[in-house]
Amino acid sequence: MVIPIVVGTFPGKSKPSDFHEQEIELRLKQLNKPAIKSIHSPDGDIIDCVWIYDQPAFDHPLFKNHTIQRRPRSNSIRDKTGGNKTYIIHQLWRTKGECPENTIPIRRTTRDDLIRSGSIKKYGRKSPPPTIYHTEGAQTEEVHEHTCVYVDYGQFHGSKSRISIWKPNVLRTREFSLAQTWVVNGDWDTGLNTLESGWQILHALYGDKNPRLFAYWTGDTYRETGCYNLDCPGFVQVSRHISLGAALNTFSTYNGEQYDFLLTIEKDQKTGLWWLKFETYLIGYWPSFIVPKLAASARKIAWGGEIVYYTSGRGTHTLTQMGSGHFAEKGFRKAAYFNSLEYIDTSNYPITPSPQNLEATVTRPECYNLQVGSSQRWGTYFFYGGPGRNPHCP
């Protein structure tokens, strides 16, 4: 199998002088739509309330005559909370106001966001791994590490799980740490199609190290299509209560309170739209035409953690943490978790996989690991994470 290597300038090293002001202003105009109302979040974000038909999706030519679907047409998207909760997960900006009817909240992109990303053109997009960067005569490789479980080689209409929220230490600007679900079809050679969502910490994109709700999609193995959140045309948002890319209002602490949220990605049988749901909020949907290999169903559903770091091949492992920053065997209140795992079959019925039916990928168990289990209260679950560099992971 031939894996592409992308060569370029190391991201995050750009200076304001590397960009033309005209390019920056044009890109900001493309990304930031006219606001009916703006809300200043306590974390410094500005959330613009944009008329629903002015959202970025409608910059895509295939959306020219698209009528927004406010809800799934099939009644199969069910609620299953995985237990009673005494708290409400929302986003920080909601403490300062709400968006009016027929608008959606969009995190405003700033000039600093573009400069920090290192590329105006590729802002909001992942690199196709593995990626090699040249910087000051040296080569730097982007390394992805995972601890995840999955079901594969099936026909699936979606994913459900409860994901615990943490604030792991992320060492450098371009490194990230996340917890997410993947809905996948295709392969690396002929074009991987994925729908992804969860929480992440990515300073290069957001300018801070707060855990944020995010979504991502690609129709070609992260090469030319797809992006985070609403940073390109593709995802159609319908909720006025949730802003993709905005910070969550709380996170779990070691030996303290634990917080999680229910995340669902599910295909509407009648329309073919893939809906994203956070707790009880229908955020919006991806149309199948942007991910054509998911038009009928997904082949694979995965859940887990991921970190990215950069190495010249001679250095030590990163100290960037995954999950809580502690290994899976620490257990509840100390390690991060996913519980109430369900995949959705082609009848749109949620199925709990047994631990024995899950496969696992752990790229560096001495750095980050996982443990799978099941119980009456949590269904199928797993703990995961780790500190990164340690005596066993030099």
**Nearest of 163, 147, 109 to residue 277 by alpha carbon:** 163
Query: What mean pLDDT value characterizes the chain?
Result: 91
366 is catalytic: no
What's the pLDDT score for residue 147?
98
Tokens of 351: 């199925």
**Which helix (H) or strand (E) segment is 384 a member of?**
strand 379-385
Neighbours of 153 (CB within 10 A): 7
Ordered by where they begin, the domains of the chain are 139-386 (2.60.120.1270)
- What's the count of helices (H) and strands (E) in the chain, helices before strands? 3, 21
For the chain, the straight-line distance linking the first and the last C-alpha, in angstroms and rounded, comes to 30
Choose the catalytic residue: 142, 145, 306, 342: 306
**Predicted model pTM:** 0.93
DSSP character at residue 83: S
CA distance 277 to 81: 12
CA distance 358 to 187: 20
Choose the catalytic residue: 196, 266, 279, 342: 196
| Strands (DSSP E) found in 57-137 | 103-107, 131-135
CA distance 284 to 236: 5
141 is catalytic: no
**Nearest of 322, 323, 272 to residue 158 by alpha carbon:** 272
The answer to whether 295 and 133 have CB atoms below 8 angstroms apart is no
Q: What is the dihedral of CA 5, 6, 9, 12, to 10 degrees?
A: -100
Tokens of 213: 């709700």
CA distance 220 to 191: 4
241 - beta bridge partners?
none
Helix (H, G, I), strand (E, B) or coil at 167: coil
Q: Please write the tens of the pLDDT for every residue from 7-51.
A: 333 455 555 556 689 999 999 999 999 999 999 999 999 999 999
Profile the chain (394 residues) by mean pLDDT over runs of 10 residues.
33 58 94 98 98 97 93 69 68 98 98 92 85 65 95 98 98 96 94 97 97 98 96 98 98 98 97 97 97 98 97 87 98 98 97 98 98 98 98 96
